[in-house]
Each structure stands twice: as C-alpha cells, then as structure tokens.
Amino acid sequence: MCTLRLLHYPPTLHQQPQKQEGQQRRQQQQLGCGAHTDYGLFTILSQDDIGGLQILNGGGEWIKATPIPGSFVINVGDMMNQWKNDVDVVVEPLESCCSLSSSSKKYMTETAGEILLS
C-alpha cells in the first residue's frame, strides 16, 4: 500500500500580545500545525527560509530544525515503530550479497539507532 499526501501550511495572522509603544497587541505570521507525530512510514519535508519546524529531543526539549538550503527533513513515522515493535533493530549486510562480492563486508553490524545517531 502506498499513500502520498502533499501538504502546505500557509501563514495565518495570529494575535499575540506583546508590548509595543505602550499597547498590548501585535499581529505576526504563524504557521498552523501543532505538536504531532507522523502516522506513516516516512515524511519528507522541504522547508522554506522562514522555518518554524521544531523537534522534540530525547531530553523532552523542543529544538528548532533550522532550514538548510537544498536539503530535506526526513521524519521516521509511527508505522516504523509498529513494524519493529519499538525494538532497536539490527542492520547488517545480507550474507547472500556478501558472498557475491569479491571483498569482505563493507559495513559493520549496527543497530538502527546507532546508524541514525552517527
């Protein structure tokens, strides 16, 4: 099964109180998608130079995902956790592929977590 969704979150005017020349009002642009997890396998996100994406790190803090020109953010979604039952799976070269090669294994056996953090 394959699903493709194209989403665009246009800026909206949002009232946010802020002192400005003795008044408590200012309009600013704010994108409208709250904290969530992605239900699919992967989400591929192209950011603009405005930014706004934040990521919840392992310490429970929200950090900015500063846009890098020409790059994409790849989110691993909830479906991957369901497929692997929240276990940090082992990733290693297939023996059948190594036997076809004239050289030994080019990649070491690692867990998915180690690969993502390297």
For residue 30, pLDDT over 80 is answered with no
Q: Which amino acid is at 68?
A: I
Burial class of residue 68 (count of CB atoms within 10 Å of its CB; 0-12, 13-18, 19+): exposed
Percent of residues, the chain, with pLDDT higher than 70: 75
Q: What is the pTM of this model?
A: 0.54
- The pLDDT tens digits for 62-112 are 898 888 888 888 888 888 888 888 888 888 888 777 777 666 777 888 887
* Confidence category of residue 48, pLDDT binned at 50, 70, 90: confident
Element (H, E) at 81: helix 78-83
* Confidence category of residue 14, pLDDT binned at 50, 70, 90: low
* Confidence category of residue 61, pLDDT binned at 50, 70, 90: very high
Mean pLDDT across 30-36? 67
- Cβ neighbors of 27 (< 8 A, separation 6 or more) are 13, 14, 15, 16
